[in-house]
Chain A
């Protein structure tokens, strides 16, 4: 349970995060200069939440309320993970340490932490270190590449983040039928918000919130996951 063990356990997550946040950096470079894109990653450490946030900032119709609501619902699952994790931590994990280290609660870091018997503050710090560096550095490199690479290449790299989203969703659809149902509803609603005139006036952030809430609500209502708890519900 040392810092070094945490570093080692966190290294594959750090590498993976570098790749994902590189794509986030590319996407962000179309809207902001590289320091501003990187600052988003350094203060948030979320994937879906940040990307939705970026879209709201880019949308002229976006509002602060919309940003708060979208961030809240998209990142609400971290609260669930935080609750589970708080039962696994060692007694010396005090309030200040929890406040400082809470940013490390992401899907992947949480999953690794929960596989440990006991989580000490120093181990959790080690575990979060490389993912944090990978996430920030990947964004930085991506945002700079987005500014200097030719348009044809950034055009192609622009779909990388979507590709990763597909790579997270499709494997779950393969093993869990009800997720297919949830995804079909979410996509159908999302297309309706884009193409159906009365709905297409709704801003991007609210459209994402409504799609996700309605689809998740019906899926949870019709197909509750019997043995789900915060330990195994994470999208790895």
Chain B
């Protein structure tokens, strides 16, 4: 653990507090729908852009070698292009890492 307990708790409080605020305040106060096409589109794109920015290039550094990370990404993309669900795709990428690691041990 690279941060102390107090720092962890403040981080946790900030993260949980902001998240609850975003969910509870509009749920309690707002009754109107968002009319702006631009802002609804913007928010609709956010999950995909966040997830892709977090995945690439981080996945290359998630394992001990760049090669296994790249293999895992490639395998995950191919598996989901073929219609694999969340768990299938995750399993395929994990197995790819194990397989490539295993090959390198030989």
The answer to whether residues A186 and B53 also contact, given A82-B24, A102-B24, A217-B42 and a CB cut-off of 8 A, is: yes
| A residues less than 8 Å from B15 (CB atoms) | 40, 43-44, 49-50, 53, 67, 71
- Name the interface residues of A183-236: CB closer than 8 Å to any CB of B: 183, 185-187, 189-191, 194-195, 207-208, 211-212, 215-217, 219-221, 223-226, 228-230, 233, 235
The reply to whether B50 and A95 form a contact with Cβ atoms under 8 Å apart is no
Interface size of B as a range: 35 or more
Interface size of A as a range: 35 or more
Query: What 9 additional pairs, Cβ within 8 angstroms, besides A162-B55, A167-B76, A219-B49?
Result: A78-B19, A86-B31, A158-B97, A162-B93, A168-B48, A212-B53, A219-B42, A220-B39, A224-B41
Residues of A within 8 A of B (CB): 16, 19-20, 23, 31-33, 36, 39-40, 43-46, 48-53, 55-58, 60, 64, 67-68, 71-80, 82-87, 95, 98-99, 102-103, 105, 107, 152-153, 155-174, 179, 182-183, 185-187, 189-191, 194-195, 207-208, 211-212, 215-217, 219-221, 223-226, 228-230, 233, 235
